[in-house]
A and B are shown apart, each in its own frame.
Chain A
Amino acid sequence: QVHLQESGPGLVKPSETLSLTCSVSGDSISASSYMWAWIRQPPGKGLEWIATVYYNGDSYHNPSLKTRATIYMDTSKNLFSLRLRSVTAADTAVYYCARQHFGYNVLDLWGQGTLVTVSS
């Protein structure tokens, strides 16, 4: 059974960098059938896709986040990560990692999510 688990600090100061990791068990992130994604949800609001990475290193980012977000993977540890620079209060959200089907581009498996609050 495949399981995704987010980890990272629950509190980040404004202007600092938010770093999150998604550990994947039960499947290899190097499998070509899947991509791996980060999505966030501000409290009481809708879902926002952040970025996706493929096993070959190709990555795709939400243009609205400009160059602040970076997604990368560590195949030796079977995990992928997100870095979001220069955070503000608007980046406060529940951050989810998810498995993205390569062909249909849907998110078929999600982690439980982790709340990150940006505050001094």
Chain B
Amino acid sequence: AQRVTQPEKLLSVFKGAPVELKCNYSYSGSPELFWYVQYSRQRLQLLLRHISRESIKGFTADLNKGETSFHLKKPFAQEEDSAMYYCALSGLPGSARQLTFGSGTQLTVLP
């Protein structure tokens, strides 16, 4: 079975402060990990995926297989980063691939 845990339901930081949204996963094989973001009154959209090793809107996330984590980080938070963030895992091989989502973290960046 595959599981994604986001331990923080709510996270508040001040503008300009570093932010880290935690994500831990449980999966016995080689997972594909994603971060999705949902801004207020907007649809869920992909923020980044680990295989791309990219930085999007200043956010990065490194897959740590030893700790089974995929934490999302940004060195200097901005007010426009306030949103709901979901970590997601795709683990089943071949045509049966599905995404399992964590419960989400609501990030609020205070002025």
Asked if chains A and B come from one complex, the reply is no
* Residues of B bordering A, CB below 8 Å: none
